[in-house]
Amino acid sequence: MKSILLSSAVVALLVFSGCSSKEPIVDETANNKAEKPAQEVQAVETETVSAENSSVMGENAESQSDTNEMSMASVENELSSVYFDFDKFSIRGDMEDKVSNDAQVANGAGSSYTVKLEGNCDEWGSDEYNFALGLKRASAVKKALVAEGVSANRITMVSYGESNPVCSDKTKECWSKNRRVDFKLLP
């Protein structure tokens, strides 16, 4: 009986997965465009840059890029991580001052950057649960920053779950360091 059912299922799959009898549709618009007469092309204006000017421009661009990166890194160092209790995503009372300070930095020196909030968890819980918890933590910090005056359009969030630990020891102190939201700046 099982072999009859199995063979019937195989035959049904073969019948239903056969080739389609429809003809392929060819897009004729590409052929029509080729038949149209070409429009006149206007001459492109070019500008010649001497070798000494290009090296100066390159040095200025590099130094400005280095300055921007150093500036962004220095502002990022002023932002402090927000830590959470086990299995919680509400901001602790001792972290509210840090969030306020982070909002001031984001609105001041970091006003020209996008703020990326990275939610992290300890190793307890499933991967799916920790990714969701990390996102809830980042969302809680985002809401607090928006309440402090940071534009919601400048904030992005990501959850790393338990995949981005700062400490890998098997102690309570280490696990508490991994339950956090980190701040990164994006140009």
The confidence score (pLDDT) of residue 187 equals 87
Residue 162 domain boundaries: 63-186
CATH number for position 110: 3.30.1330.60
Domain-located, residue 11: no
Q: What does the longest C-alpha to C-alpha distance in the chain come to? A: 87
CA 78 to chain centre: 21
The confidence score (pLDDT) of residue 129 equals 95
Structural domain count, the chain? 1
Domain-located, residue 32: no
d(CA 13, CA 176): 54
Helix (H) or strand (E) holding 64: helix 51-78
d(CA 111, CA 38): 49
Is the Cβ–Cβ distance between 99 and 91 less than 8 Å?
yes
Domain-located, residue 124: yes
> Which residues lie closer than 8 Å to 92 by C-beta, 6 or more apart?
83, 84, 85
Evaluated on CA atoms 132, 154, 73, 187, the torsion sign reads positive
Domain-located, residue 86: yes
- In order along its 187 residues, the chain shows pLDDT tens digits of 777 877 777 776 666 666 555 555 555 544 554 454 545 555 555 555 555 544 445 545 454 554 555 588 888 888 999 999 999 999 999 999 999 999 999 999 888 899 999 999 999 999 999 999 999 999 999 999 999 999 999 999 999 999 999 999 999 999 999 999 999 999 8
Domain-located, residue 44: no
Domain-located, residue 98: yes
Is the pTM value of this prediction over 0.85?
no
